[in-house]
Amino acid sequence: MRLARPWQVEMGTALHPVANTSLPGLLSMLAPLEERVGKVKHLHGQKLIYRNHLTDPHYLHRFHFLGPEGGDSYQRLGLFAGIHGDEVAGSLAAVRFLTELVERPELAQGYEFFVYPVCNPTGYADGTRHSRSGLDLNREFWKNSNQLEVRLLEQEILQLNFDGFLSLHADDTSDGLYGFALGHTHAEHVLSPALEVASRVLPRNRRRRIDNLPARNSIVRKRYPGMLGPQPDARPQPFEIVLETPALAPIPDQVESTVIALHKILEEYRNLLSFSPNL
């Protein structure tokens, strides 16, 4: 739990279009949020710049939204998508989900969101799973990686001290929805009903092994080394949920099922907090 307080946004970093951007299509994808920045109370957009001496600058877009007060505290959640550049549905779902919260802020009561729709900008631009370094960035976290995107996101995670992590992915080897429930034990209790309501759009993957890991009721409880998430020794331990859609399903269905699941996660987590405020 944390005391209610809006995050202070640095001056001079407001989101705005970049001339000759190296990320074709990115700004149009972000447009539903970009056009509301500066017009909607408690919605801010920033571009976090990263580069080395060999490359042009790239931008990792971050949106911050503060919902209405809900009691004495806010839960600060990080929503991450596009760490694999070819998983476009997650990025689209992140934008749509936050847009819906902005339009109906009561749905975000008691929550503070930091949303990173495209965590792998070069992979997104190239339509590839890996970044231009050739590495899978989702295996590089908390390994003293020299990947600039990873280092930037690690700094964000350390600075912002999230209460919960939500990550969006698509799996081209899966025939249905599933998720990872990691960190705090209540993650599974929040994820299970979210998968159930999302299965109205896409079926669940009910195999006993998913992505080479044991699973039960469409939920995996073991992480891969280097996955995006909290620092391994973080205390108190935040909850982590990774939503996986079947990548071969139609993109609109992947987006719809993900957005439905995210709304259910907020509802279920809020219910848990009402019974156990010290989670």
* Series of mean pLDDT values for 10-residue runs along the chain (279 residues): 41 33 70 94 93 77 95 91 97 98 96 98 94 96 96 97 98 98 88 98 98 96 96 90 98 98 97 73
Chain centroid offset of residue 15 CA: 19
Phi, psi (degrees; rounded to nearest 5) at 60: -105, 115
Question: What is the per-residue pLDDT for 235?
Answer: 86
Question: What is the per-residue pLDDT for 278?
Answer: 59
Q: Is 214 within 8 Å of 208 (Cβ atoms)?
A: yes
Question: What is the per-residue pLDDT for 11?
Answer: 29
Token duo for residue 76 = 């600060």
Phi, psi (degrees; rounded to nearest 5) at 268: -70, -40
pTM, entire model: 0.90
Question: What is the per-residue pLDDT for 19?
Answer: 31
Q: What is the rounded distance in angstroms from the CA atom of residue 1 to the CA atom of residue 199?
A: 31
Question: What is the per-residue pLDDT for 236?
Answer: 87
The full set of domains in the chain, from first to last, is 40-275 (3.40.630.10)
Token duo for residue 73 = 């505290």
